[in-house]
Structure 1
Amino acid sequence: MRQWADNQDAQGQGRPLPHRIAGAVIATDRRDEGITDRWELVMTGCPIERVPGAADQWRLTTDSAVPQWKILTVEPVARERTYWISRRRGLEYPSVEDMLN
């Protein structure tokens, strides 16, 4: 809650939100010679707001002009795709950059 409150204060002052969560989504097939995709993501937001007239009290954001799903944002940071010659043996196809050098 404290981090969301910090984010809400920063947003109100027009500053970048200080608290963010980093993670990754990894998708793969079961084939030995398949593909692995990895997306690195950052999530941030402020789904709470101050209760008007109350000190240090917060509630879930109630602004009906902002859809609830827009209160928390997910930003893609990087995407990586690995093509496997053999996943079991740890053999990857070379990247285009490696082949050109």
Structure 2
Amino acid sequence: MFANKEQVQGGQNGEATMAQGGSQQQQTLYITSSNIGKVPEYNSTEDFSLYLERLEQYFIANFIDEDRKVAVLLTVIGSHTYRILRDLCDPVLPKNKSLMNSVVY
């Protein structure tokens, strides 16, 4: 992706340090990202399995890893659905569950 075997190392706040070919020269890159599409809040009249299929496509399109899928799900399901999920997971908070353990089919 980078010419001359340049490597990018993660930084903070959207920064990355780029080292070129093992030399001491370093540059700072500012990486911005934008999401492809958006996931609307879950509507309880909607078929939940269809909603999850769309959500999974959102995860794929935006390269969302397993560790972040639960966080995304909990942000987009809405307060009413979150309350139901929280009650079902009690005494464990939904954020401490894996995605598959959080979702009830």
User: Is the TM value for this pair above 0.5?
Assistant: no
More RCO (CA 8 Å, sep 6+): 1
Which structure has the highest helix share of the two?
Answer: 2
TM-score range relative to shorter protein: under 0.3
Question: Which has the larger Rg?
Answer: 1
Q: TM-score, normalised by structure 2?
A: 0.25
Q: Whose strand fraction is larger, Structure 1's or Structure 2's?
A: 1
> TM-score if structure 1 supplies the norm length?
0.26
